[in-house]
Amino acid sequence: MRTRFLFAVIGFVGLIGAAEHAGAQQQSWVGMISDSQCGGNHGSEVDVKECTQKCIREGFKYILATNNGLSTIPIANQDFAALAKYAGDTVTVSGELKNGAIVVSKIDMQ
């Protein structure tokens, strides 16, 4: 009896894990790789790439600015290599949205 119960619990936990994994789907967003200090507004007289890189060096975090800079989405994996390359550029970011932040899997230039 205990063995059946144990197998039932293990099976149930496995189904929950599989459902959570299946629910995590790739999505895509179009926006500008920016920083948490400036968001989508770097001002009109600065180089956006240089400004973003400077803010990152100062400890701010990468974000994706969407809707012409009106909205921002945090980026979870700050160590994703292409973030520095595309800083200040308009890109398509692919990944999963987890806890309100994008876990980036791919970045393509627009």
> Cβ neighbours of residue 102 under 8 Å, at least 6 residues apart?
29, 64, 73, 74, 75, 76, 93, 95, 96
The reply to whether the predicted model has a pTM over 0.85 is: no
Domain residue extents for the chain? 26-109
What's the angle, vertex CA 35, arms to CA 31 and CA 41, rounded to 5? 70
pLDDT digits (tens, 9 = 90+) for 92-107: 999 999 999 999 999 9
Give the pLDDT mean for 37-58: 95
Does 36 have pLDDT greater than 60? yes
- Exposed, middle or buried: residue 68 (CB in 10 Å: 0-12, 13-18, 19+)? exposed
Class of the CATH domain delimited by 26-109: mainly beta
Mean pLDDT of the chain: 87
